[in-house]
Structure formats: C-alpha cells, structure tokens
Amino acid sequence: MAQERKIGDVILRVDDISLSFGGVKALSNISFDVKEHEVRAIIGPNGAGKSSMLNVINGFYHPQEGTITYLGNTRRQMKPHEAARQGIARTFQNIALFKGMSTLDNIMTGRNTMMKKGLFWQALNLGPARKEEMEHRQAVERIIEFLEIEHIRKTPVGRLPYGLQKRVELGRALAAEPSLLLLDEPMAGMNIEEKEDMCRFVLDVNDEFGTTIVLIEHDMGVVMDISDRVVVLDYGCKLADGTPDEVRSNKEVIDAYLGVSHD
C-alpha cells in the first residue's frame, strides 16, 4: 500500500553536512534527499548522529559545513522557529511536552504560529480572537479524535503514561499541519500494542494528509515495514542509502549492525 502513493519531487535535500561540538565530530559530509509524500527512515547504532541530523534539519543545531535545501530555499542555518513557520514539525526522543498544560492546550500550541489575532482582541476575548480560537479548537479536536485521545483532553500531560504522551506529542506536531514531519524514535519504549497503534498513526498521517515523514527508529521490523527509503548512519558518516531491501542486503550495514571481526 505504501507503494501505491504517488511519491513526488525532492522537497528536502541536505548536502555535505558536517557538524561538530568542540573537537567531536557528530556528522561528517552527510548528503541525502527526501521526496514529497515519502516515509524516509534514518537508522543507525546509538551515537551515530541520527538525532543530530534532525536537529540540523529543523535549525536547532547549526552545521559548520554544508547546506540544506528545503522547498527550493538553500541555507546553512536558521532559527528553529523559522523552520517551524516553514512547515517543519517534529517530535522528540525524550518527550518534550509542556508538562503543566493540558493535552488540549499542548496541541493548541502547535497551531500558535497560525493564529494571528493580537493582544488587544485577545484581551477582550471578543469578535475576531474568539472566532479564531474556536476555528483552531475545531481543527485540534479533529486531531484529538484521529489519535483517539478524547478522554485525556483536559488532563495535564505530566500525569499521562509514556505511551499517551508520545501520542500527544505527535498530535502537537500534526496540529501545525506540517509539510515535513520529523519523528525522533516515535516508538521507543513502547510495548507491541502501542507500537502497532503508533505505526498505524504514522501511516495514516502519511496517507491521509500526504505529509512527508522523516523518522528515526531502532525497531528494524518497523522501519522495513513502513518506510519507502532508508538512510543508514554510523559514527556520523553515511553508510548506505536506498530502499529497505537494498539496505538490508548491504554488506557494510550488516557489518555495522552485527559487528564484524576485522582480521
């Protein structure tokens, strides 16, 4: 089914990205591209630089070398909130929700960039501001329904179990109606059932909204099932790039994952 979707043109291309902290090289000369509507996976052992790569794409880390071309604009660095405004949303490996706020409010913040009404109207809570709030509330309710989290709408997210928090975080990212969604280990620490749910959500998002997805995942079964193309990183270098089948049969990848004796 994933193959039936129409994969479009390249919307994101990273070229020769190098990133280091002090003397430690986190990424060296990484290049790959992401096409519209596809599910692109980044895999690799711990410390391979996967999360750093996402951080570079959405402007949180600034690479020393290389460029990122997104929707035709080429740049080396940008502020994270600029990336967000251009339609890049993401979730985090260690959940980064706003713990003191309810599920509803958390997802509503995802739409903050789309809300325009100023302080004055908001202070009075009249007319335009109120109308705007209600429109966005409706959109958020659709997401809440889609993710099946109606029952925790008003619960402060700090009190939710891990699996649900991950779901709320996905909701917050979706609320921004992104054209590119970055998911950092969306299924880490989940049990089989939760994983299946999450896979379903990711595929549905991709299917229904046509959102392009770049995800990092450790569960190879999941990656091979849901992704169109896979990039493999190891020690900050690109090891392989291709369809799940190509990657699976790549000798270097097998070596990196299974370990090989160099004698």
Partner 1 sequence: MLFLAETVISGLMAGVMYALVALGFVLIFKASGIFNFAQGVMCLFAALALFDFISPGGFMDRWFGFYLPIWLGVIATMGVMIILAWMIERFVLRFLVNQDAIILFMATIGLAYFLEGAGDIMFGSDVKPLDIGIPQGAVDFLLDDYGLYIEKLEIVAAVTATVLVIVLAIFFQKTRVGRALRAVADDHQAALSVGISLHSIWVVVWSVAGIVALVAGIMWGSKSGVQFSLSLIALKALPVLILGGFTSVPGAIIGGLIIGVGEKLAEVYVGPFVGGAIENWFAYVLALVFLVFRPQGLFGEKIIERV
Partner 2 sequence: MFYRESGQFKTSYQTDQAIFPIAQDRWFVYAILAIAVFVVPFYIDDYWANAIFLPFLIYALAAMGLNILTGYCGQLSLGTGGFMAVGAYATYKLMTMFPEMNFILIILLSGGITAMVGILFGIPSLRIKGFYLAVATLAAQFFLVWLFNKVGWFYNYSASGQISATRMVMFGFQITGPEAAPAVKYLFCLGFVLVFGLIAKNIARGRIGRAWMAIRDMDIAAEIIGIKPLDAKLGAFAVSSFYIGMSGSLYFAVWLGAAEVGEAFGISQSFLILFIVIIGGLGTVLGSFLGAAFMVLMPILLKNFMVDGLSIMAVTAKHVEIMLMGTMIIIFLIVEPHGFARLWQITKEKLRLWPFPH
Site residues (vs partner 1, CB under 8 A): 21, 51, 55, 60, 92-94, 96
Measured between alpha carbons, how far is 216 from 51 in angstroms, rounded to an integer? 8
Site residues for partner 2, window 174-193 (CB under 8 A)?
Answer: 176
Beta bridge partners of 240: 232
User: What is the secondary structure of 129-160 as a DSSP string?
Assistant: HHHHHHHHHHHHHHHHHHTT-GGGTTSBGGGS
Nearer residue to partner 2 within complex by CB, 8 or 100: 100
Of the candidate residues 134, 258, 259, 262, the single one contacting partner 2 (CB under 8 A): 134
Beta bridge partners of 156: 102
Nearer residue to partner 1 within complex by CB, 55 or 211: 55
Q: Is 172 in the site for partner 2 (CB under 8 A)?
A: yes
- Quick check: 28 and 237 in contact, CB under 8 A? yes
Nearer residue to partner 1 within complex by CB, 19 or 240: 19
Q: What secondary structure letter does DSSP report for 108?
A: H
Residue type, 107: I
Contacts of 200 (CB under 8 A, 6+ apart): none
Spell 14-24 as b/e; 16+ CB within 10 A means b.
Answer: bbebbbeeeee
Of the candidate residues 10, 62, 75, 100, the single one contacting partner 2 (CB under 8 A): 100
Beta bridge partners of 182: 90, 214
Size of the site for partner 2 (CB under 8 A): 40
Residue 181's binding partner, choosing from partner 1, partner 2, none, with beta-carbon cut-off 5 to 8 A by kind?
Answer: none
Residue 94's binding partner, choosing from partner 2, partner 1, none, with beta-carbon cut-off 5 to 8 A by kind?
Answer: partner 1
Burial of 205 (0-12, 13-18, 19+ CB in 10 A): buried
CB of 21 to partner 1, least distance (A): 6
Of the candidate residues 90, 166, 229, 238, the single one contacting partner 2 (CB under 8 A): 90
Measured between alpha carbons, how far is 145 from 191 in angstroms, rounded to an integer? 22
Q: Is 119 in the site for partner 2 (CB under 8 A)?
A: yes
Q: Is 125 in the site for partner 2 (CB under 8 A)?
A: yes
CB of 26 to partner 1, least distance (A): 10
Nearer residue to partner 1 within complex by CB, 60 or 209: 60
Q: Is 133 in the site for partner 2 (CB under 8 A)?
A: yes
Residue 179's binding partner, choosing from partner 1, partner 2, none, with beta-carbon cut-off 5 to 8 A by kind?
Answer: none
**Pairing of β 65-70 and β 73-75:** antiparallel
CB of 242 to partner 1, least distance (A): 29
Of 145, 143, 77, nearest in space to 111 by CA: 143
Measured between alpha carbons, how far is 88 from 80 in angstroms, rounded to an integer? 9
Binding site for partner 2 (CB under 8 A): 58, 60, 79-81, 83-85, 89-90, 92, 96-101, 105, 108-110, 112-113, 115, 117, 119, 122-125, 129-130, 133-134, 137-138, 141, 172-173, 176
